[in-house]
Amino acid sequence: MTANAPITQDVLTLPRKLPEGGKINLVGLTRDQLRETLIAHGTPEKQAKMRVGQIWQWIYQWGKRDFAEMTNLAKAYRADLDEHFEIATPEVMSKQVSTDGTRKYLVRIAGGHEVEVVYIPEEGRGTLCISSQVGCTLTCSFCHTGTQKLVRNLTAAEIVGQIMMARDDLDEWPVPGAPKDETRLLSNIVLMGMGEPLYNFENVRDAMKIAMDPEGISLSRRRITLSTSGVVPEIARTAEEIGCLLAVSFHATTDEVRDKLVPINKRWNIEALLEALRAYPRLTNSERITFEYVMLNGVNDSDEDAHRLVELIKGIPAKVNLIPFNEWPGSPYTRSSNNRIHAFANIIYQAGYASPIRTPRGEDILAACGQLKSATERARKSRKQIEAEAGLNP
């Protein structure tokens, strides 16, 4: 391991209750935590289980934010709840809609930090790409998020809150009594926004458990994909404690190149990563591991790379998702040509693996993979650039 490899996770998660003595947010609590919280604020223990069930449904099944609307609770109890608690989700600061229908939200969380959330509508499904951290402690050289200095973990509330916020915007909370609509606008979740989800494991896990709870948002674990850059020790836990699908930011076929592109490789190299992936339980073929591979012109896109990749993943039920590099202001790489990407895809396909080429979505609003970065941070960067151009910053 290289001593200065940027692989630490010395970031903090802000406490649920901010010091000013504000109300406690009930969003993001597990059922057990919700029970304890209610009891601690006067709900009789005997009633707690039932109250948890009722409040849970109002929050996660019906999308209610106001205790006054929880009509199966006594009026006095509702007032009581309102005194101590709130149901809060991240605040939407701005929303951009791409010409292709992709929606990018900038949301504000406690401390004034901002994260981006992207909704991608597709034929028959809609995917929400959510963030797990503000920025990222890792510094993958092709990723815009990795250039952001500021990092903090999101709380479970802030993670599941992104899903609730999107359901608000899509107007997708069911109406009590109305027939169930099976075609969901928001049908899939990918943890592919800002941050390394496995460096914020507990909060990501709790948030996904809430999203999967059958008495709430009720997303199947097969509709949730967690993308990791390769935090090897947490991969087995992901299977055990979350049970969602896994995607891995592979991006290179030799340690030499992967060390440069995905620096966490200096801590857990390709061999260690593959070993963890071989052990990841897969029950059906639809639960294959997704190998994400960003196509960088002249860096990792040769025929030899494709052949090596096929050799490396041998024996792992896998699909290879080829991501044409999305450029961002100042990015050090360029995108491989379409011909190159197709030739690469073909070698993998011939070897028996699905090798879809991802269509960049929302490029006009910088919503594509690896382009996410908060507006505040962008503003800071561009001011620096402006200063440099003006000769203020030699």
Q: How far is the CB of 196 from ligand SF4 (least distance, A)?
A: 4
Closest distance of CB 72 from ligand SF4, Å: 42
> Is residue 116 annotated as a catalytic residue, yes or no?
yes
CA 226 to chain centre: 7
Task: Yes or no: say if 129 and 118 are a contact pair by the CB < 8 Å rule.
Answer: yes
* DSSP character string of 297-315: TTTT-SHHHHHHHHHHHTT
Alpha carbons 358 and 369: distance in angstroms, whole number: 10
Can residue 143 be called a binding residue for ligand SAH (CB under 6 A)? yes
* Contact stretch for ligand SF4 (CB under 6 A) within 143-151, 218-226, 329-337, 381-389: 143-151
Beta strand pairing status for 24-25 and 85-86? parallel
Structure tokens at 110: 């406690």
- Does the annotation count 369 as an active-site position? yes
Q: Which is nearer to ligand SF4, 292 or 305 (CB)?
A: 292
| Residue 145 within binding range of ligand SF4, rule CB under 6 A | yes
Residues 249 and 208 sit within 8 Å (Cβ to Cβ) = no
Residue with tokens 């199947």: 220
Piece in contact with ligand SAH (CB under 6 A), picked from 120-128, 167-175, 188-196, 374-382: 188-196
Question: Using CB under 6 A, which of 38, 235, 294, 309 touches ligand SAH?
Answer: 294
The catalytically annotated residue of 136, 143, 244, 369 is 369
**Binder among 127, 188, 203, 228 for ligand SAH (CB under 6 A):** 228
Whole-angstrom Cα distance, residue 1 to residue 267? 5
Paired with 246 in beta bridges are 226
Total of residues contacting ligand SF4 (CB under 6 A)? 11
3-state SS assignment for residue 73: coil
Closest CA to 135 of 125, 145, 144: 145
Stretch that binds ligand SF4, among 61-69, 86-94, 134-142, 275-283 (CB under 6 A): 134-142
Which residue matches tokens 């592919």? 192
Residues at the interface with ligand SF4 (CB under 6 A): 136, 138-140, 143, 145-146, 195-196, 229, 249
Residues at the interface with ligand SAH (CB under 6 A): 136, 140, 142-144, 192, 195-196, 227-229, 249, 292, 294, 323, 325-326, 369-370
Q: Which residues are catalytic?
A: 116, 369
